[in-house]
Amino acid sequence: MNWGLFIPELYYLAVCGILLLLSMGAKPNPRRDLVTVLFFAALGVVVSLASVRLEGTLFAAAYRVDLFSQVFKVLLALGLLLTVSLCTELRGIDEGHHLEFYLLLTTCTVAMMLLVSSVELLTIYVALELSSYSLYLLVPLRRGHDAAVEAGIKYLLVGTSASAVMLFGFACLYGVIHTTQVAEIVRVLPGMLGQPVATIGLLLALCGFFFKLAVFPFHFWAPGVYQGAANQVTAFIATASKAAAIAILMRIVALSGGGDAYLVKVLVTLSIASMTLGNLVAIRQKDLKRLLAYSTVAHAGYVLIGLLSFSPSGYASAIFYAFAYLVLKFTCFLVLVKVAADGSDLQIAQLAGLHRRSPLLAMALMVGVFGLAGIPPTVGFTGKLLLFTAAIRQGHLAIVFIAMINVVISLYYYLLVVKAAYLLEPDEDRPRIRLSAPMTLFLWVLVAVIVTAGVFPTYLLDLADAAARALLGV
């Protein structure tokens, strides 16, 4: 067995082991812990990038390493690095618990990496559970907020119910197709979708992944959990966890081969419902994290448009949008963490006067929010353009029309955020926000990436195309 294929996961497992040993050590030293984890996370990104072109199968065909999985592993490693870089002043978490916090983040990353490479139902289930349990443990880990434990309980109960439903779906699928290997199911299932048990099985199995991606009607956990968890944890859930959810949803949706009209109708309905509900409810939100949660629900709807076209260009656009979404959401969370420096929840009204307190943060927020809204020349616009054209090519005109209406609706609440940062004046004078030199550089790099990837997307697009072809085994 070629262990070289498994290098990113082995690396992160080693990091988990080191963090576990460190957490049993003596005095907690937040500075040293942060620098250590930052170094490991950065090295992890390098390791993932180095193993992008690996291909092969491991573990008795339960695990497949191909361009699709490796691209997502890079995204996940990037997500971990970005989230750890938010933790320079981790006020939201107890000092003694910092190392457990980093350990759980790394465990979640390993689990998601294992998830995107699994091609066998049992491995998918177990990796999904490992990532979910790390998140269930991360959410209550907040200092001084009673809402965190409540959010943790709600997240756990809804999450385990969704995963039990998914398991029943797997059982139905296994009952009609006598194998748990995804490749075999892809071959056999399209012909069998006429049997009711097979269709029920597939739909139920999708429920668990819809939960992770916060698609309607499984999105109810998102606003409460986003609000109740610590800001850095919310950033991780909103970015890296969604990228993994997109990846695994693509693998499962690709199972059906695209021939089933009923499945397409279901996906269309869910997509329209997510987009519309997410955008309409976001308008009324006063808390920035809740607004970002509902925006996540809306974006899940947009990604589903790419999936329901069931074509290589549709999958490629979804992969590209996963990257775009990661960077854009992270930028918004970076601004949030910097403005709410004591780890509390940020109301939109508290963004008032940001352009005077820190012009760089205000500009980064504006670029990030415009990217989420889909305004050119940001990468968000390019991503949406690709998703919509892929759907139009397959003939789904109505849903693209509804999506464009939704983009206009979403502009309203995104502009509210920008208006608060630039046009509103605070009641009392708030101090300037000082940013360290690395953070300033980092913000400029993020803004540059968002704009450049929007204007020159060719390289990333070709990569996404190749990854989509690898997914379909073409």
Q: Residue 128 or 391: which CB sits closer to other proteins?
A: 128
Q: Residue 83 or 107: which CB sits closer to other proteins?
A: 107
Q: Residue 197 or 408: which CB sits closer to other proteins?
A: 197
- Asked if residues 323 and 460 have their Cβ atoms less than 8 Å apart, the reply is yes
Residue written as token pair 């998918």:
124
- Single-letter code of the amino acid located at 241: S
Q: Residue 110 or 467: which CB sits closer to other proteins?
A: 110
What contacts 24+ positions apart, CB below 8 Å, involve 264-270? 264/308, 264/310, 266/203, 267/304, 267/307, 267/308, 268/308, 268/396, 268/399, 270/210, 270/215, 270/216, 270/301, 270/304
Q: Residue 147 or 411: which CB sits closer to other proteins?
A: 147
The CB-of-199 to other proteins minimum distance in angstroms stands at: 9
The CB-of-470 to other proteins minimum distance in angstroms stands at: 21
Q: Residue 161 or 311: which CB sits closer to other proteins?
A: 161
Q: Residue 94 or 465: which CB sits closer to other proteins?
A: 94
Q: Residue 11 or 320: which CB sits closer to other proteins?
A: 11
Q: Residue 95 or 462: which CB sits closer to other proteins?
A: 95
CA 335/CA 194 separation, integer angstroms: 50
Residue 214: left if φ>0, alpha if ψ -120 to 50, beta else—which one? left
The CB-of-223 to other proteins minimum distance in angstroms stands at: 7
Residues in touch with other proteins (CB under 8 A):
13, 16, 20, 23-24, 26-28, 58-60, 62-63, 94-97, 100, 103-104, 107, 111, 114, 121-123, 125-127, 129-130, 133-134, 136-137, 140, 146-147, 149-154, 156-157, 160-161, 164-165, 167-168, 170-172, 174-176, 178-180, 195-197, 200, 220, 223-224, 227-228
CA 63/CA 59 separation, integer angstroms: 6
Which residues does residue 120 pair with via DSSP β-bridges, in sequence order?
Answer: 181
What contacts 24+ positions apart, CB below 8 Å, involve 143-150? 143/91, 143/92, 143/93, 143/94, 143/230, 143/343, 145/228, 147/227, 147/228, 148/228, 148/229, 148/230, 150/224, 150/228
- Single-letter code of the amino acid located at 275: M
Pull the structure tokens for residue 418. Answer: 């920008």
Pull the structure tokens for residue 381. Answer: 């616009």
- Single-letter code of the amino acid located at 85: S
The CB-of-312 to other proteins minimum distance in angstroms stands at: 29
Total residue length of the chain: 474
Q: Residue 121 or 463: which CB sits closer to other proteins?
A: 121
- Asked if residues 251 and 119 have their Cβ atoms less than 8 Å apart, the reply is yes
The CB-of-27 to other proteins minimum distance in angstroms stands at: 5
The CB-of-216 to other proteins minimum distance in angstroms stands at: 13
Q: Residue 36 or 160: which CB sits closer to other proteins?
A: 160
The CB-of-125 to other proteins minimum distance in angstroms stands at: 7
Closest to 110 (Cα-Cα) out of 133, 85, 135, 127: 127
Residue 296: left if φ>0, alpha if ψ -120 to 50, beta else—which one? alpha
The CB-of-320 to other proteins minimum distance in angstroms stands at: 30
CA 167/CA 209 separation, integer angstroms: 11
Tell me the three-class secondary structure of 287-344, residue by residue: EHHHHHHHHHHHHHHHHHHHHHCCCHHHHHHHHHHHHHHHHHHHHHHHHHHHHCCCCC
Q: Residue 24 or 261: which CB sits closer to other proteins?
A: 24
- CA atoms lying within 13 Å on the CB side of residue 431: 6
